[in-house]
Structure 1
């Protein structure tokens, strides 16, 4: 009897079981979206029953939100609070978080914005990044309109570059931050050139 008991899988602590379910949910949601993902699929991927899943989460909406919160915590561990703008350190942190949790990165920055129930959260996150970028860009681009343009575009380009980097298998991870920074530098250079051109035009009557 004792031998049979010893062969039974041990029950995971509640926190570990919750993490197991969230990891499976993040992968499933990033693959097939909110509407296309069923709780039975998540439970199966996590290796638990639906009853166990419901002991941790009351609904699919709660589970999706928890998956987003989980990745936001990962992001917070890698990206320190910005000081002075969208810095090189910000890029390093975004890439580190993406490498640590590729599905979580896609879930927050790609998929959540497409889900009506979570669009506001994704937009708020994007707005915060844009404001952060503007802190830095407005110091080097005098034209307000072009500074706003660059501040909106630079984070979008950075995120798309990181997603593309994940999609092709995360090549040359040591060089990836510089590649992303080069892309952002192109945006800032284009905005700076446009601002200089605008400054050179004669004033309108």
Structure 2
């Protein structure tokens, strides 16, 4: 399907120059890519559609042909980040491959990851997205911890703390330039085991 618009960029003498048309789906993904970078710099409220359009190299007209509003575009960015995370890590279980997969997914899309777990958590209009992820993560953790911690309040505590700590640890790792990528999963995992030991009482 043909794109419903073209990007316009100046040529060397300042005249508008038409660039190739894109299929509609490809243009939509290009806009989402650009919006992820633009929103990643300051979150939803601080980022205008002018910045998104400039990042994408398109006009407002083209933006509105693909997304009805800034909120619609931002939700599409968050939903794609969620989908990529689910593809990389899964949603139904946790094993020794999960944390390295989470770090790889975060490193591959740091702006999307931070939008989900840093910005969206502070934005009431989009809090439902992160709340859904956290609820699912807590349920997975509770099942995973059943063999390690007796049933009761401390298992419930650990089931909430372990996912929250893990996500904060990964965000901090991204912010600090992704240090020691080959050892990061092991270091974070050792901290998670500390939380589990504390919940177990020894």
Tell me the TM-score normalised to structure 2 length. Answer: 0.87
Q: Are residue 192 (structure 1) and residue 162 (structure 2) matched? A: no
The structure whose Rg is larger is 1
Q: Residue 144 of structure 1: which of 144, 147, 152 is its match?
A: 152
CA deviations 1:93-115 (Å, max 9, x no partner) are 21121011001001111111111
Structure 1 residue aligned with 2:136: 128
Structure 1 residue aligned with 2:73: 63
Structure 1 residue aligned with 2:170: 162
Structure 1 residue aligned with 2:82: 72
CA deviations 1:112-136 (Å, max 9, x no partner) are 1111111122111101101100101
Q: Are residue 13 (structure 1) and residue 23 (structure 2) matched? A: yes
Structure 2 residue aligned with 1:111: 119
Deviation of 1:92 (Å): 2.0
Structure 2 residue aligned with 1:101: 109
| Maintained 8 Å contact 2:110/2:174 | yes
Aligned length in residues? 187
| Maintained 8 Å contact 1:138/1:144 | no
> RMSD of the alignment, in Å?
1.7
Structure 2 residue aligned with 1:35: 45
Deviation of 1:143 (Å): 4.5
Deviation of 1:36 (Å): 1.1
**52-61 or 136-145: bigger deviation:** 136-145
| CA distance in structure 2 between the partners assigned to 1:76 and 1:12 by the alignment | 28
Q: SS where residue 125 of structure 2 aligns? A: coil
| Maintained 8 Å contact 2:91/2:136 | no
| CA distance in structure 2 between the partners assigned to 1:160 and 1:169 by the alignment | 14
| CA distance in structure 2 between the partners assigned to 1:20 and 1:38 by the alignment | 17
Q: How does 1:172-183 map to 2 (within 5 A)?
A: 172-183=180-191
| CA distance in structure 2 between the partners assigned to 1:101 and 1:162 by the alignment | 12
Structure 1 residue aligned with 2:61: 51
* Unmatched 5+ stretches in structure 2: 1-16
Deviation of 1:175 (Å): 1.4
Tell me the TM-score normalised to structure 1 length. Answer: 0.85
